[in-house]
Structure 1
Amino acid sequence: MSAIKFLTMAVQSIIQLPLMCGDEMDEATREFMQQRAEQLSQEMTRLLQEVKQGSQEQRSLELRSQEQNAFVWGALLFTALQMWQFWAVAGVLVLLFGFCRRLRKRSPEPDSSSKEEESSSGNREQVEKEEEEDDNDADDTGRFLEQHIQWPFQNLATECQEVKDLVANFILISGCMLSKSFLLVLQPAIEVGRAFEGWSPREKDIIYRVLVPLKPPRGHTFHLELDTVGERPARNFCVRVELVCTCTREKLAGEILCFLHHPEEELRRNQDPSLLHTLCTGSYLDVQKTADWFSWLVKAAWPALPLSSKCSLKMLPSSRSCKFQVIKSNNESLTIEMMFGVQQGDSDIFASSQTTEATCTPSTMWSESYAVAEVKFFRHVARQAPHDSFHLKCLQLCARILMGTGFPTSALKTVVMRLLTTRPLSDWRRRDFLPRLEEIMQHLRSCVKEGRLDHFFFGNERVPEEIILPPHFRTAKPLNLFQHMAQDPIAHTRALCEFVEVRNRLTRLLMYGH
């Protein structure tokens, strides 16, 4: 009980502690504290006397222990009371410190935004650095493959220019030779085929192909008739030749006799024969007759060509085109194939003499050619693609792998053209060499497995607008280039087996370079 009383008085002393009013205690406060100290001292003396008067030793020990503890606590509390200014100041400082920290957390420092920007910028730089390292690794892989693979050594750009100059001179000289005849009118040649597209899987035997558009001579007109017999992966046409009346022109200029209204005897005596009597079979323009005439024309014009003084000409056999070699003095040669065709309207699609896959094609049948549209497509891609684009390298390598298999180059080209319009051109750089090769092979495998590969120019909304197509092409039903696989299970199985060999070839090429 005595200890409890002592603690109660100590607590009362703390409660009655006056508030701080300055740096030092006032006089009244000091007197009050002294009185309380004397009262506490007297009370402690009385308590000690009570402890001494206890009769039982155990009770005395317990009281002594309790009161000693009480005395210690009282002394500590009394000392604390004397230091109340120190604790008050310390408390205020703690409160101020806590308040400042709270304000600092709630309102960011003036330069915190810049620090965050610096941190964010640092993070971006780190990410960009990592991405750049990944790109460098991929680019190193692409560079290694480029150097590891034995690419055909080709000087396509120089030789393409030589061919263009040669053919342009030929067209100019031929125009002068044919100016008074009623044979075909030759238009400026259009360079087509893989060499002019910028790629070729071969090192030797590169064939430079050009397409010479044909116009009807005076007094004649052309009509294209679509062959609708059966469903084919490519369309064929017949070029029907008709005579038109030239009586009005004859009266005004007196240049020619009208083939329709003059007697044959008079025509035969005064004028060269019409196209119907020279290069046609019946009423249709004949491909083989036209090819033979082209060969004669090349030989006739050759002496007047600038190259004839330092090169020799060698004609090559071909039933549906004009093919020849220009042999230089250093025994190097250029192989040139001149095809010819009739334009469909003002489009980039022609009915051409281009060789078809059919083993027996009638001489009056002209196959639909997309060669002009294809070369325009690759020129469009070349303008849009990055300078280090590898899309032609991918096409060249895959075509090299497919050589000797049953897969035509036209099918591979269709696959690559479709991927070039569905995947961004920025994904065709050297660093993406391997992924694009794999994607091409996967797409080709999927087409072989399904037995379907849609023609690029039919029903394809992704064809660039600069390529001029006949109006019905964009809405037409696509032609299946793998139709023979869909119709013939044996051909389909053979194609699947050949594709396994193609993948093995690609693996060996990437491993050994050849």
Structure 2
Amino acid sequence: MALGLFRVCLVVVTAIINHPLLFPRENATVPENEEEILRKMQAHQERLQLERLRLEEEVAQLAAEQAAVEQAAAAGPPLSETGTAWDLWSTLCMILFLMIEVWRQDHQDGLPAECPAGDEDELPGLGATPLLGLTLPDKATLGHFYECCIRGATADAARTREFVEGFVDDLLEALRSLCNRDTDMEVEDFIGVGSMYENWQVDRPLVCNLFVPFTPPEPYRFHPELWCSGRSVPLGGQGYGQIKVVRADDDATLGCVCDKTKLGEDMLCLLHSQNGRGLPGGETEELLCASGSPYLDTMQVMKWFQTALTRAWHRIAHKYEFDLAFGQLDTPGSLKIKFRSGKCMPFNLIPVIQCEDSDLYFASHLPRRPSQGSPESSTDWLLSFAVYERHFLRMKSKALPEGACHLSCLQIASFLLSKQNRLTGPSGLSTYHLKTALLHLLLARPGQDWRAEQLDARLQELLRSLEKSLLEKRLCHFFIGNRKVPEATGLPPAIRRAEPLNLFQPFVLQRSLYRQTVDSFYEMLKNAPALVSEYSLHIPSDHASQPPKAVIL
């Protein structure tokens, strides 16, 4: 009886210790390479096989003992009922242990290769600083911080926009006067986009981003091809498109009969040349296409645009008392006005192509983001929703209470991110990610939840939503594949029906960038209370007892 009791206790303790849900392996780490993972999996499989053989031997031994007991019972006096009961419990516990081992092995083998738990093990700091523990200052301190550090920094945004727009208008007019309408691209009026035109720019210096649409000379036109138009594209090509240059009287891709019917050798299409396809090589190069291709080349466009801007500036330079120069070398279209006092005023002119009759624009280049993958080909154009984003924010602002705090949340979060980037360097997190998270919250939250006095709660929710997206490595684009977007925005049906685009997809492949981004994000959360308090040290004594003023933007 004592031996049976000891055996039962041993089996139960072993089963409890080996149960994966009761005692998870907290110190497990994910190896860096696949070979190490395979080696450890093979070693684990061998251990499981040895364990299974040992258990089978014990079961066989128990069966032999049971048979011996039965023979002894048949030959001699019966055993006590207590001894029989203990042997039965021992057998049942052994069967239970075997079932637990089999279930655990199946559970581990069934885990997917990209298990989210592996990323948490890979980054030991993820669970160490939960966002729920973030304590922001009181409403009065937060309101004063906003008034002094953010609203004051954007007070001259309107004057900056007015000056830059006036100069760019004169510059583009000079460019048009130098272009030949029969052979050169035709430049249209600029369109202001981004934070400066959405009233939440906080970083210095203030930068205006201006789209400059252009069209080809007659008789040519642009035919955009989206990545979701049916053609197969790689994973990194989502969100991009190509621009095909066709003749206005040459619908080779849209329905000319010669493209759908085989003509005889002695028959020619009156609209096409003998080859019946595309444009001659010389014409495509003159129309800024890639070599031997009818698709528009981004590098060719940028070279043409920079050359045209240089010629236009030389024509009007005598009218101004400042110099114009190109800014960042890695951002084509980046310009800056250099005053004699030494002050500089940067701005970005980005050549774009309108996607049919919508507010979508194909941009040759946008300000670079660390997490944004570069296009695989120079004929890939990034699809920009900047105009739709500006329209959506304006439409939401009209439906929100007066002095709503949605832009204030975005400004404070952007301010904290900017300060953190200056401390630890830029990471994979950008202000565009902050704005995307805010747009999702605006769509999910009713209007009354965005009152001015709820600034702290909404800021907490914005940061919590961003943390959840980082841990899941998934932040969906607000417009692409989002059928909850109101139809009043005028979004094209093809974009609404497309597969959702994950803006955090680069984090899945770039582990070092992901680690750096998560570490920087949690350090930003850790520094946020001290940073807000430091910038709000000089709060008037009567201000602390008063509620914050409503923020009207």
Identify the TM-score tier after normalising by the shorter chain: 0.5 to 0.7
Structure 2: distance between partners of 1:305 and 1:390: 43
Measured after TM superposition, the shift of residue 329 of structure 1 is 4.8
Change (3 A) 1:299 1:495: closer
Distance 1:492 1:171, change over 3 A: closer
Query: How far is 1:472 from its partner?
Result: 1.7
Q: Distance in 2 between matches of 1:505 and 1:485?
A: 24
- Amino acid in structure 1 at the alignment position of 2:535: G
Structure 2 residue aligned with 1:292? 303
Using a 3 Å threshold, how does the CA distance of structure 1 residues 139 and 484 change in structure 2: closer, same or farther?
closer
Q: Aligned residue for 1:440?
A: 462
The match for 1:346 is: 357
Q: 1:199 to 1:311 in 2, by over 3 A?
A: same
Q: 1:368 and 1:344 mapped to 2: Cα distance?
A: 9
Tell me if structure 2 keeps the 8 A contact 1:245–1:259: yes
Structure 1 residue 467 displacement after superposition: 2.7
Matched with 2:220 is: 220
In structure 2, the residue matched to 1:37 is none
Any conservation in 1 of the 2:428–2:514 contact (CA below 8 Å)? no
Deviation per CA, 1:191-238: give whole Å up to 9, x if none: 11112221223122x321111122221121222234543223842222
Return the TM-score normalized by structure 1. Answer: 0.62
Pairing 1:448-487 to 2, within 5 Å after superposition: 448-486=470-508
* Distance in 1 of aligned mates of 2:313 and 2:515: 50
- Which residue of 2 is the match for residue 186 of structure 1? 187
Report the CA distance shift for 1:187/1:468 in structure 2 as closer, same or farther (over 3 A): farther
SS where residue 472 of structure 1 aligns?
helix
Deviations 1:62-109 (A, max 9, x none): xxxxxxxxxxxxxxxxxxxxxxxxxxxxxxxxxxxxxxxxxxxxxxxx
Q: CA deviation at 1:487?
A: 5.3
How far apart, CA to CA, are the structure 1 residues paired with 2:176 and 2:489? 28
- Partner residue of 1:21? none
Q: Distance in 2 between matches of 1:317 and 1:142?
A: 35
Cα distance in structure 2, aligned partners of 1:320 and 1:237: 20
Please give the alpha-carbon distance, in whole angstroms, between the structure 1 residues aligned to 2:179 and 2:216: 12
Query: Please, which of 318, 326, 329 is the counterpart of residue 315 of structure 1?
Result: 326
8 Å Cα contact 1:340-1:353 kept in structure 2: yes
Structure 2 partner of 1:96: none
AA paired with 1:451?
K
Larger Rg: 1
1:260 offset after TM fit, Å? Answer: 6.8
Are 2:413 and 1:398 equivalent residues in the alignment? yes
CA distance in 2, matches of 1:244, 1:436: 51
Asked if 1:230 corresponds to 2:252, the answer is no
**Which one-letter code corresponds to 2:533 in the other structure?**
M
Report how far residue 510 of structure 1 moved.
2.5
TM-score normalised per structure 2: 0.58
Q: Relative to structure 1, is the Cα distance of residues 193 and 499 closer, same or farther in structure 2, using a 3 angstrom cutoff?
A: same
Amino acid at match of 2:163: E
Identity of aligned residues (%): 25
Cα deviation, residue 398, structure 1: 0.9
* Cα distance in structure 2, aligned partners of 1:386 and 1:163: 32
How far, CA to CA, are the matches of 1:224 and 1:486 in structure 2?
A: 30
Distance change in 2, residues 1:331/1:491 (3 Å): closer
Q: Which of the pair has the greater relative contact order for Cα pairs under 8 Å at 6+ separation?
A: 2
Say whether the 8 Å CA contact 2:284–2:290 is kept in structure 1. Answer: no
Cα distance in 2 between the residues matched to 1:319 and 1:306: 25
Query: Structure 1 residues 146-155 or 231-240, which shifts more?
Result: 146-155
Task: Show CA shifts across 1:317-362 (max 9, x none).
Answer: 5466322112345443321211122222211212211236335653
Letter in 2 for 1:217: P
Aligned to 1:358: 373
CA distance in 2, matches of 1:484, 1:320: 21
Gaps of 5+ in 2: 1-136, 251-269, 275-279, 422-426, 537-553
Please identify which structure carries the higher helix content: 1
**In the alignment, is the contact (CA less than 8 A) between 1:143 and 1:430 conserved in 2?**
no
Residue in 1 that maps onto 2:386:
371
- In 2, Cα distance between equivalents of 1:491 and 1:316: 26
- In 2, the alpha carbon distance for the partners of 1:161 and 1:397 equals 25
Read off the aligned partner of 1:216 and give its amino acid letter. Answer: P
The one-letter amino acid of 1:442's match is R
Which residue does 1:281 correspond to in 2? 290
The 2-side partners of 1:491 and 1:309 are apart by: 44
Are the counterparts in 1 of residues 327 and 346 from structure 2 also a CA contact under 8 Å? no
Separation in structure 2 between the aligned mates of residue 376 and residue 223 of structure 1, nearest angstrom = 25
Q: Take 1:361 and 1:156, find their aligned partners in 2: how far apart are those partners?
A: 37
- Counterpart for residue 146 of structure 1: 146
Partner of 1:170: 171
| Alpha-carbon distance in 1 for matches of 2:499, 2:217 | 35
Which aligned pairs between 1:96-175 and structure 2 lie closer than 5 A? 140=140, 142-147=142-147, 149=149, 153-154=153-154, 155-175=156-176
Measure, in 1, the Cα distance between the counterparts of 2:330 and 2:409.
Answer: 33
Q: Give the count of matched residue pairs.
A: 357
Paired residue for 1:412? 434
Matched residue of 1:232: which SS?
helix
Give the 3 Å change call, closer, same or farther, for CA 339–150 of structure 1 in structure 2. closer
Alpha-carbon distance change, 168 to 425 in structure 1, aligned in 2, over 3 angstroms: farther
Please state whether the residue corresponding to 1:295 is helix, strand or coil: helix
Rounded to whole Å, the distance in 2 between the matches of 1:371 and 1:216 is: 23
The root-mean-square deviation of aligned C-alpha atoms, in Å, is 3.3
SS class of match (2:334) = strand
Q: Decide whether aligned partners of structure 1 residues 166 and 463 sit closer, same or farther in structure 2, where only a CA change above 3 A counts.
A: farther
